[in-house]
Chains A and B, each alone.
Chain A
Amino acid sequence: SQQGEEDPQALSIQEGENATMNCSYKTSINNLQWYRQNSGRGLVHLILIRSNEREKHSGRLRVTLDTSKKSSSLLITASRAADTASYFCAWSGSNYKLTFGKGTLLTVNP
């Protein structure tokens, strides 16, 4: 399988806490992206980090990328109940196709 792994598979935290999700992939990449999926809905793009970047921020999101370890992490700071969703990493190599990880289900309790 070309899929990598995300961990944890599920994460439950309290509002205000930080949430960290990790992603590992298996191939050389052009970029890595993170998406969010609310229950029963389509995926929404959150952030894209290129292979020559190590860290990127967007609002309460911080993404890191370590190409030597073929891994990435997504940090959501000061989480809110509305952040409850599944989060997926996806990566693209030289053939421009996007491959997705299996996702992390985040539950933020009020």
Chain B
Amino acid sequence: NAGVTQTPKFQVLKTGQSMTLQCAQDMNHEYMSWYRQDPGMGLRLIHYSVGAGITDQGEVPNGYNVSRSTTEDFPLRLLSAAPSQTSVYFCASSYGGGRTEAFFGQGTRLTVV
């Protein structure tokens, strides 16, 4: 099993550009989440999903959109990138949300110039 796969691993964007960070899991988990990690800030929840067709906002949702059309995929969209979105982004999935262990992808390092 591949687990949680994120693409790309690295990306440089210009301010105002849009892009989609991809996340796929092959464990048939209902729960998927996106976090951003900034120095000294730990991981902060951006958006999460409790199943196909259901998404909700986390702690820092502004500037990001998500959708969940299938159980396997949970893409994160930046509609108009800003330097404040420079960060490392992690996707995670779990069987039972916060009730069970989460499995993380390897991360996408995004720089907005």
Contacts and interface: CB of A to CB of B under 8 A. Distances in A.
A43 interface: yes
Interface residues of A, number: 28
A30 interface: yes
Contacts of B96: 96
B99 A88 contact: no
Nearest to A101: B42
A48 B107 contact: no
A45 B103 contact: yes
Given A96-B31, A102-B41, A102-B42, A42 B98 contact: no
Contact of A98 (B4, B33, B40, B50): B33
Interface in A6-34: 30-31, 33
Interface of B: 4, 31, 33, 35, 40-45, 48, 50, 58-59, 90, 92, 94, 96-107
